Each structure stands twice: as C-alpha cells, then as structure tokens.
C-alpha cells in the first residue's frame, strides 16, 4: 500500500474526546486547501466523529489507519 | 533542621484549599500563598450575575481571612517562575525563594483568539464581562440569541448549558421568550462533551424550544453585521451573542516557559507533580489534566498534592494518586438542578433534575468558604451572612490581567 503523506501531523494520543477532533479542526484552520492533516488518537470515537465532521464541513475523510497502540486519522482540506 | 519553604502560587479554590491543608504540617514546612491581589474570587457565582440573581461583590472574599492563621500571604503579582533557581520574580521587583512550589494559577478566557469575538460577543467568565452581559440583557427586547461554546478548552464545561437554561427562565419571566429564538452552538458532534449526559440535555433543550447547532466551530464574528460564521460554513445572525471564549493558562505560565502551547502545565495525572520537576506540583485549571477545569477538581486534587509533597519532604515516595474525581451541581432551569460525579474511569450518570439539587447548589454558593478546610474565622462567616465582602476587584478580568495577557501574546 502506498503511504499517504500528511502535510501536518498532530499527536493527540492520550487526549480524551473531543480532544483529538478539536486538535484536528485547529490544524485544518492552519493549513492551505488540499493539504492533508493527520491526527494520532487513542480514542475509538475519533474516527466516526471525524467522518461526521467531514460530511458536515465539506472536507474529505481520507481514512483511518491502525498504528502501534493508536490510530492515524487523515483529512484533506477541501475549501 | 530548617523548615522547607513551600510557596503556593495563586489564591483561588485550589491554592486556598491546598494551603490550609498544608497548615497542619507547619512543624516541618513554612507555607506562603502568593496571590496577585489578595482577593479570593468565587467564580461559579458569576453564572447568576447577568440575570441580576447574584451581586458580584458577594463573590469576592478577603484571601487573608480564608487562610489558616499559620499560612502567610504575599499579595503581589508574579512576573515569572525561575524553576532552575527555585524562585519567583515579583512584577514589582523582588524575588521569593522556595523549596517546593504548588502552581494554582487558574485559567483565563481569551476572546482575542477568535476574530471579532471580543468586539461582538458576550460571556460571563469574569466580573467585568458578566456585568457587561447583564447590561446587554437588560436592553434586550427580543430577537435571535446565539449562545454556546466559542472554542476549547474552557472552564466549567456545563456552565454554557446552565446559562442557556437559566436564560430561558429569565426570558419567560420577562415575557420575552415568545419573541426570542435561542440557538445553542457547539463545536462538538453532540450537545455536551460527556455522552452519558447528552440525552438529558437534549430532552431539556427540545422541551424548551432551544435549537441546537452541532459541529459549529466559530471561525469569526462579523460584529458589524451581527453574524457569527463557523468553519463548517454555517452563518447565524444574532441580536445577542453569548459565546464562551477558549481559555489559556495564566500569563505567568507562558512567561516562565513551563506550559504547553495552550499555557497549561504538563502534569502527572496521578501524582500531580509537574512533569520533569519533582518539587513542583500543579493543581486545578492550571494543569493539562483530562478533567474539567473547575473548582471541584481542584478540591479533590488538594489532598493528593498535600500527601505527596509531605512525603517528599520526609524523604519518601509521592505515592498518593488522584483518580480524576470531579463533582458539580448543574442548573437545569425552573428552579431545578442535577449533579455530575465522575472520574478518569467512571462517566457521570446524572439523576433526574430536582429542586433538592438546586437548593444544595444555592447553599454551597452562599456558604462555600465554610467548606474550606480548617479554622474559618467567625468574622468571615458573619460577614458572609451579612453580605459584606471585599471591595477590591478580583485579578481575573482585571486591567492588570489583561495587560499581562497582552504582553505574553505579543511574544508568542
């Protein structure tokens, strides 16, 4: 599988909900359109919350990938 | 053997609780609270000020009178903590050395972090802001009110919900509710941070006709057009905007370079020691712990800090562990309230709102200093009953705090 390269990585491991999503949204504000933000989370709810947020906000949910003890959730800024 | 010098930086709930508990150990330590103004401010009472249901001066207490007589008090703002040399630099010259330091510096609302919010929005988290909102409410004749959470983190997570439900009561009492549309906005996917509490709040909001807009991350406020715009593209017009600003740690934490990017102190979630600094402890809002920023958390943290600090002074391991305990009463309107009790492992299961919890909250608000451990002077108690309180304004929201905050923000 080709590794998707994020333009910005946010380490939110250890943060409880809504911490990881809040960190991701903060990062999205700071990057240009088409950039990918990756958040590292240990909260199982982050993936579904991020999907729902992307649907609402019009950004692209790129995917969620398991890593060593955490999950990488990736979003592309679309506007 | 010389006694160990313990400084407690900050005379709020956490600082005062911990200092009075440490006073039991003055055979081996000297305890001094260092507070910017010497005024202890009971911030939970600010919730009622905009409605005229609480007088701001009743929330101010003379810190000296709340402290155990064995605890010394220095009323002076601190510019910086020098963790290498173990000393505090006072704003107006002078230093205070310590062997152990407990940081209880709280948090500050920072509306400046959201474009246009300071100009266009109200909140009730400082005395001046609560009074300004009171005036705005008194001039309100009906229209659209947008109320909610303008950014994370902020202290006392249920307070925006409580405010909204009390606002509904207040508007009904004034005959304005039928002329008013209330929209509650939150950056979250649901109405509250803790899922077990969400159904109760959703039911209350639905019953009272309060509209909820989730996933509303405020991008900016166009205060001239009276419009608030979210990152998600939602635009809401308003006649009155009450949006709780995101908070930061105190300016002294940023100035000392010991905080994270939000100005919060990296803290061991169990021992409450500042990470990487054995002789430093942090308590209350100042920490980066995954618990509510509230006086209740500080209350439950205080005994852990005391036990671990005394263990260290006695050459033992700091083995007491904070389990994340928090408890708070939450106003639900119509003279009722509920209670949230939770910790790191156990989420809250709120009971059905009742008048009983409302009155418990009211009694706690009024007689709160009695709950401070040990030796409350009788004159403090009598003054409380008589409604005589400190004339001096508290630090939070003061011109001095704003100046220190701006100085730090310029250097960020």
Phi, psi of A48 (to 5 degrees): -70, -40
Q: Which residue has the higher pLDDT, B395 or B136?
A: B136
Domain range list for chain A: 8-76
Domain boundary among B245, B278, B305: B245
Nearest to B215 among A17, A29, A53 (CB): A53
Whether residues B257 and B121 fall in one domain? no
Chain A hits for B293, CB-CB cut-off 8 Å, are none
- Pick from B106, B119, B121: nearest CA to B153: B106
Choose the final residue of a domain: B215, B245, B275: B245
Same domain, B35 and B145: no
- Chain A residue numbers with beta carbons less than 8 Å from the beta carbon of B188 are 18, 21
Poorest-confidence range of B140-144, B285-289, B403-407? B403-407
Say if residue B392's pLDDT is above 80.
no
Last residue of a domain, one of B220, B245, B270: B245
B367 part of contact set with chain A, CB < 8 Å:
no
The answer to whether residue A17 is catalytic is yes
Q: How many domains does chain B have?
A: 2
In this complex, is the C-beta atom of B378 within 8 Å of any C-beta atom belonging to chain A?
Answer: no
Containing structural domain, residue B292:
4-108+248-324+369-411
CB-nearest to B233 from A14, A28, A58 is A58
Measured CB to CB, residues of chain A less than 8 Å from chain B are 14-19, 21-22, 25, 28-29, 49, 52-53, 56-58, 79
Determine, yes or no, domain membership for B335. Answer: no
What is the band of A15 on the pLDDT scale with cuts at 50, 70, 90?
confident
Residues B23, B321: Cα–Cα separation, whole Å: 21
B40 and B97 assigned to the same domain:
yes
Alpha carbon of B329 to those of A8, B118, B359: distances in Å? 40, 29, 10
Q: Return the residue of A nearest to B262 by Cα.
A: A23
Per-residue pLDDT at A1: 47
Closest listed residue to residue B279, CA positions, set B271, B269, B290: B271
- Tell me: the pLDDT tens digits for A19-35? 899 889 989 988 999 99
Indicate whether B129 and B44 sit together in one domain.
Answer: no
Q: Are residues B119 and B65 in the same domain?
A: no
Picking from B323, B132, B325, B95, the residue whose alpha carbon sits closest to that of residue B240 is B132
Residues B266, B381: one domain? yes
Q: How many CB pairs under 8 A join A and B?
A: 36
Same domain, B300 and B407: yes
Q: Considering the domain boundaries, does residue B347 fall inside one?
A: no
| Residue B340 is assigned to a structural domain of this protein | no
pLDDT tens, position by position, B310-351:
999 999 999 999 999 999 999 999 999 999 999 988 889 999
CATH 1.10.150.120 assigned to domain A8-76? The reply is: no
What span, in angstroms and rounded, lies between the C-alpha atoms of A31 and A18?
A: 21
> Looking at residue B181, which CATH number applies to its domain?
3.50.50.60
B235 in the same domain as B256: no
Domain co-membership, B153 together with B296: no
pLDDT tens-digit series, residues B141-188:
999 999 999 998 999 999 999 999 999 999 999 999 999 999 999 998
Assigned domain for B306 exists: yes
ipTM field:
0.78
């Amino acid at each position: 599988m080709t590794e998707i390269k994020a333009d910005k990585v946010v380490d939110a491991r250890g943060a409880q909900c809504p911490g990881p999503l809040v960190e991701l949204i903060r990062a999205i504000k700071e990057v240009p359109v088409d950039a990918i933000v990756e958040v590292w989370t240990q909260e199982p709810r982050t993936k579904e919350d991020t999907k729902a947020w992307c649907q609402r906000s019009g950004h692209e949910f790129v995917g969620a990938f398991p890593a060593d003890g955490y999950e990488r959730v990736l979003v592309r800024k679309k506007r | 053997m010389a006694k160990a010098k313990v400084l407690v930086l900050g005379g709020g709930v956490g600082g005062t609780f911990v200092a009075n508990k440490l006073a039991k150990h003055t055979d081996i330590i000297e305890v001094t609270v260092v507070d910017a103004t010497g005024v202890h401010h009971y911030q939970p009472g600010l919730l009622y000020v905009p409605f005229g249901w609480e007088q701001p001066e009743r929330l101010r207490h003379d810190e000296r009178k709340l402290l155990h007589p064995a605890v010394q008090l220095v009323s002076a703002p601190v510019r910086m903590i020098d963790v290498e040399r173990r000393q505090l630099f006072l704003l107006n010259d002078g230093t205070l050395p310590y062997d152990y330091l407990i940081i209880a510096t709280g948090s500050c609302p920072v509306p400046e972090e959201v474009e246009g919010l300071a100009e266009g929005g109200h909140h009730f988290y400082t005395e001046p802001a609560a009074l300004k909102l009171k005036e705005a409410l008194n001039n309100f004749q009906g229209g659209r009110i947008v109320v909610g959470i303008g950014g994370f983190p902020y202290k006392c997570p249920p307070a925006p919900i409580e405010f909204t439900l009390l606002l509904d009561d207040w508007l009904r009492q004034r005959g304005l509710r039928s002329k008013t549309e209330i929209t509650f906005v939150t950056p979250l996917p649901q109405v509250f941070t803790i899922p077990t509490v969400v159904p109760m709040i959703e039911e209350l909001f639905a019953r009272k006709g309060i509209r909820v807009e989730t996933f509303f991350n405020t991008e900016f406020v166009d205060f001239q057009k009276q419009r608030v715009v979210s990152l998600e593209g939602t635009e809401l017009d308003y006649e009155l905007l009450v949006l709780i600003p995101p908070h930061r740690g105190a300016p002294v934490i940023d100035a000392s370079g010991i905080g994270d990017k939000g100005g919060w102190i990296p803290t061991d979630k169990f021992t409450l020691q500042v990470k990487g600094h054995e002789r430093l402890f942090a308590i209350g809002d100042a920490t980066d712990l995954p618990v509510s920023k509230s006086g209740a958390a500080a209350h439950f943290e205080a005994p852990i800090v005391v036990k671990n600090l005394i263990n260290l002074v006695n050459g033992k391991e700091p083995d007491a562990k904070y389990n994340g305990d928090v408890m708070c009463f939450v106003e639900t309107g119509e003279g009722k309230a509920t209670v949230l009790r939770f910790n790191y492992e156990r989420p809250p299961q709120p009971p059905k709102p009742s008048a009983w919890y409302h009155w418990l909250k009211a009694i706690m608000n009024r007689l709160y200093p009695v709950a401070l451990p040990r030796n409350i002077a009788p004159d403090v108690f009598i003054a409380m009953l008589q409604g005589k309180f400190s004339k001096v304004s508290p630090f939070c929201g003061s011109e001095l705090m704003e100046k220190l905050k701006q100085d730090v923000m310029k250097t960020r």
